[in-house]
Copies of this chain bind each other. A is one copy, B any other.
Amino acid sequence: MSYSDEVKVLLEAAGATEGTTVTLEADGRTYKGKIMPHHEFSAPDIVILKMKSGYNVGIRVDSDSKITVIEQPAPAVKKDAEVEEKKGLPTLVLIGTGGTIASYVDYRTGAVHPALSTSDMINAIPEIRDVANVRAKVLFSIFSENMDVAHWQELADCVAEEINNGADGVIIPHGTDTMGYTAAALSFMLGNVSKPVVLVGAQRSSDRPSSDASTNLMACARFCTQGKRAGVFVIMHDTQGDDSFAVHNGARVRKMHTSRRDAFKSINAEPVAHIDKDGKITFSCDGLPVSKEKVEAKTGMEKDVVLLQYFPGMDASVFESVIMNSKGVVFSGSGLGHVNSSLIPLVKKACDNGTVVVMTSQCLNGRTNMNVYNTGRDLISAGVISVLDMLPETAYVKLKWALANTSSAEEAKQLMQTPLVDEMSDRRLF
C-alpha cells in the first residue's frame, strides 16, 4: 500500500523523502523524527517517524498537517564497493536474514527493514577487518517471526556451501524472535559441522544509542577466528552491560526476555563459552575442534508436527483433529511431564496410529521423568517418549527433522532419545 495522494503532495511540497528528518504537525501535536519507509501494511494516510528515542511512531496526516524539513539524509554509500582482502587472515562469511540486527547498515534512514550489501555491512563495523576477511551475502530480508521451515532449509544449504567453499566461519545475523528455533534447526541439519556457525541478533537497532548490534557481531568474529570450536552457536550479550558475551549451544538456548540485551539464556546447560570485552574466550565445556571436513546439510523436515503446551481445561475433543492429523506431537507438559488423565486416551490413540508423541516440560528447567507418578507411567504405557532435559522448542525442531530423516516411527523415537549435538543430557548420567 502506498501513501494517499494527500500525503504524497504534502511530502513533495516539503521536499521530504525516506530518511529526511522533519517536524510534523498533526492533530494539534508536533512530532520530530526521521521519515521511515512506508510499509505495505500501513494505512495510506500514516507517516511513520523514528523519534530520537529510537521508537517508531505512526502519525495520521491530513491536509491540515504541516511538514518542515530539518535535515536531509546523508548520501547513500555506494553499494557493493570492493573490499580489499588481507592475506593471512581467516575468511568469515556473513549471511544476512533480516531482523533488528540488520538495521545497523541502514544508517541513512534508521529504518528496520534490512537491505544489506557487502560493503554496507563491513563499513558498519570496520574493526572486523582487523581479524578477518569478510564476505557477506543477503539471503533473506525478513523479520524472524516470519522465518519458516523453508528458510531454515535454504539457510542450511547456504551455510554448507560457504563452508565447503572455504569459509572458516559463518555468522548469521538473525531476528531474535525465532533465533532459538533456527539455531536448533541448523544444529540438526548441519550435524557435526566442521566450522563455527554463529547466529547473532540485536535487541536494539543501531540507530539507538544502546544498540548491541556491532558489539554482538564483533564478538562473533572473535569467536569464529580465535575459538577453534566447531558447531552451531548463538552469541548475545551475557549481561545487561556491554562487557561480556555468552556463547550458547544452538540447541540449548531460548529467548527468555522480550527486550533485554541478555535475553538469550542457555537452559539446562552452561553457556559453551564467555567472551570478555577484550575478546578473551573462556570455554566452560569440551567440544568439537574445527576441522577440514566437508559439510553435508540434511535439510529434510516433516511438515506435520505440532508443539502443544498442556494447560488445565485442555479438551481432548478440541485438540483431537490437531493431534490425530500430526505425524509428530511435542507436548510441553506440566511438572515432570504430565497432562490431565482425560487426554491420555487420545494420546494413546495417536501413538497407536503411528504418531510419535514426545514429552517435555513447560517448566523449561530440569528434566522430565514420567516414572515417578501414575500419570507419567500411563503416558509411557500409551507410547509417549521422554526426552529428559531437552527444551520443548528444540524437541519440536528435532522431531520434524527426525521424522524426515528416518524410515519409521520407531527409528525416529530412537533418534529423539539419542543426544546428537548436546541438545539433551545423556540418559546414563541420570
Contact = CB atoms under 8 A, between A and B. Distances in A.
A146 B340 contact: yes
A341 B151 CA distance: 14
Contacts of A181: 311-312
Nearest to A313: B149
A336 B369 contact: no
A375 B256 contact: no
Interface in A138-182: 143-149, 152, 175-178, 181-182
Residue from A339, A364, A400 whose CB has the most chain B CB atoms within 10 Å: A364
A363 B325 contact: no
Interface stretch (A219-227, A258-266, A269-277, A281-289): A258-266
Given A145-B375, A309-B307, A338 B56 contact: no
Interface stretch (A239-247, A291-299, A314-322): A314-322
A39 B374 contact: yes
A257 B41 contact: no
A368 interface: yes
Contact of A400 (B313, B326, B365): B313
A335 B366 contact: no
Contact of A258 (B42, B311, B366, B381): B366
Number of copies: 2
Contact of A303 (B313, B336, B361, B365): B313
B325 A322 contact: no
Interface string A114-128: 000000000000000
Contact of A338 (B145, B314, B315, B364): B145
A85 to B, nearest CB: 36
Interface string A335-358: 111111110000000000000000
Contacts of A188: none
A311 B308 CA distance: 10
Contacts of A255: 334-335, 362-363
Nearest to A377: B41
Contacts of A367: 258-259
Contact of A334 (B177, B259, B318, B339): B177
Contacts of A56: 371-372
Nearest to A259: B366
A332 B312 contact: no
A152 B365 CA distance: 26
A378 interface: yes
Interface in A14-70: 39, 41-42, 55-56, 58
A396 interface: yes
B322 A311 contact: no
B363 A258 contact: yes
A341 to B, nearest CB: 5
Contacts of A309: 307-309, 332, 392
Given A177-B335, A260-B366, A378-B41, A313 B148 contact: yes
Nearest to A343: B145
A286 B329 CA distance: 44
B143 A373 contact: yes
B177 A338 contact: yes
Contacts of A260: 365-366
A269 to B, nearest CB: 14
A277 to B, nearest CB: 25
Given A41-B378, A260-B365, 17 more contacts: A39-B374, A42-B377, A143-B338, A143-B374, A143-B375, A145-B339, A145-B373, A145-B375, A176-B335, A178-B312, A256-B364, A258-B361, A258-B363, A258-B369, A259-B366, A309-B392, A311-B393
22 contacts: A39-B374, A41-B378, A56-B371, A58-B377, A143-B338, A145-B333, A146-B340, A146-B342, A148-B313, A177-B335, A178-B312, A181-B311, A255-B362, A257-B363, A257-B366, A258-B335, A259-B369, A263-B366, A306-B318, A307-B309, A307-B311, A321-B322
